[in-house]
Amino acid sequence: MASLLNTALSVGFTSNGRARRVRARSLVSPASVSFSRRRLTIRAAETDTNEGTVKPQVPDKAPAGGGSSFNQLLGIKGAAQETNKWKIRLQLTKPVTWPPLVWGVVCGAAASGNFHWTLEDVAKSVVCMMMSGPFLTGYTQTINDYYDREIDAINEPYRPIPSGAISEDEVITQVWVLLLGGLGCAGILDVWAGHTFPIVFYLALGGSLLSYIYSAPPLKLKQNGWIGNFALGASYISLPWWAGQALFGTLTPDIIVLTLLYSLAGLGIAIVNDFKSIEGDRAMGLQSLPVAFGAEAAKWICVGAIDITQISIAGYLLGAGKPYYALALLALIIPQVFFQFQYFLKDPVKYDVKYQASAQPFLVLGLLVTALATSH
């Protein structure tokens, strides 16, 4: 639920706005940020000692080329500027981050062993996917952009909130609509499933709280690379799985432990997105793992978390007397390792999109293999 449900695998696990390096030619005056109730603007200036003039250092519009309308609708980097308010609202929810949550619900339903291809079960699963994806992941992404508005005003002032394309009051309204919509879906699912204890509702509520403390001060879990990335991984792997399994069956302690262990792979995937924002994170005091350990060490931590976790899960399945599932999972790890060397380990910034597009499908298929193994 990720925010169920919460926060991402992304298939990039998160598509947050990333930092751009501002290169100073001589003396740079401190950036000044001014706030109003509805709009936040950023001014940074460079003083030319020879000419005595002041030149702006931060662009106040999107980069040349206009950006992509498709990227704008998905909420990813390279988006075109848009004036249509509904397109801007969709952009804030980052639809590109919904699929992992939807897939997590599928895995949970498969792990329950009680999903049947009936109209009622399909309808339940669709509502659960809507809760996990558009509503609660959309809530998570919107609230993250809201609390990142200061750093976005420095790094990407053309993004919807700092540019003034949407007011802060409108963003807050969107946060509440998405949150209440997601919690409402959870309540409906509990009644529909005949639960005496509203487990889906409490999972949604817990995921929503996790989303809030991930982005918002004073806790702001994303400031710590280990805690923040694990919270992100758990909310993109564990929470939607738990919701799907609780909806159709029984959520057991062994499944909780297994999925939390799998969330360590999610931690690794979350690190992928940190490489693009090293300069901005360092400037804002965010201790992402590339900032804390350096890019070279962090990229090995990233792939190690992904690969060792899946190998451990394969070992668990082998020990549980399910060798075919264990072998299937190991077979899915091989192409992931290949693409790590082919793209990510060469240049985690340049090839991050190619790596995630090529390697992560095998990881999510491994999730389904594990879910099917636990259902038998």
Whichever domain contains 262, its CATH number is 1.10.600
Identify whether 354 is part of a domain: yes
* Structural domain includes residue 297: yes
With a cut of 90, say whether residue 178 has pLDDT above it.
yes
Q: Which residue has the higher pLDDT, 28 or 299?
A: 299
Residue 6, beta-bridge partner list: 2, 3
Residue span of the structural domain in which 255 resides: 2-22+58-374
List, in order, residues 6 or more apart from 304 with CB less than 8 Å away.
Answer: 268
The reply to whether 353 falls in a domain is: yes
Alpha carbon distance 112, 376 (integer Å) = 9
Q: Taken in order 278, 284, 286, 292, is the CA torsion positive or negative?
A: positive
Q: Looking at the predicted structure, is the pLDDT value of residue 264 above 90?
A: yes
Give the chain's domain count: 1
The answer to whether residues 326 and 314 touch, using CB atoms and an 8 Å cutoff, is: yes
Q: Is the peptide bond before 218 cis (omega within 30 degrees of 0)?
A: yes
Taking CA atoms, 267 is separated from 77, 261, 297, 325, 368, in Å, by: 21, 10, 15, 23, 18
Q: Which of 89, 186, 183 is nearest to 138 (CA)?
A: 89
User: Amino acid identity, residue 52?
Assistant: G
Task: Name the pTM for this structure.
Answer: 0.78
Identify whether 351 is part of a domain.
Answer: yes
Taking only the tens place, the pLDDT of each residue in 83-127 is 889 999 999 999 988 988 999 999 999 999 999 999 999 999 999
* Strands lying side by side in the sheet with 45-48: 27-28, 45-48, 53-56
Which tokens belong to 234? 């758990």
pLDDT tens-digit profile of 162-176? Answer: 889 999 999 999 999
Asked if the structure places residue 370 within a domain, the reply is yes
pLDDT per position as a tens digit, 128-164: 999 999 999 999 999 999 998 887 777 678 789 988 9
Which among 78, 235, 98, 246 is positioned nearest to 178, based on CA atoms?
Answer: 98
Strands 45-48 and 32-35: unpaired
Q: Which tens digits make up the pLDDT trace of 344-362?
A: 999 998 898 899 889 989 9
Identify whether 32 is part of a domain.
no
Q: Is 294 exposed, middle or buried (0-12, 13-18, 19+ CB in 10 A)?
A: exposed
* Measured distance CA(238)–CA(266) in Å, rounded: 10
Within a domain: residue 43?
A: no
- Asked, for residue 338, whether it belongs to a domain, the answer is yes
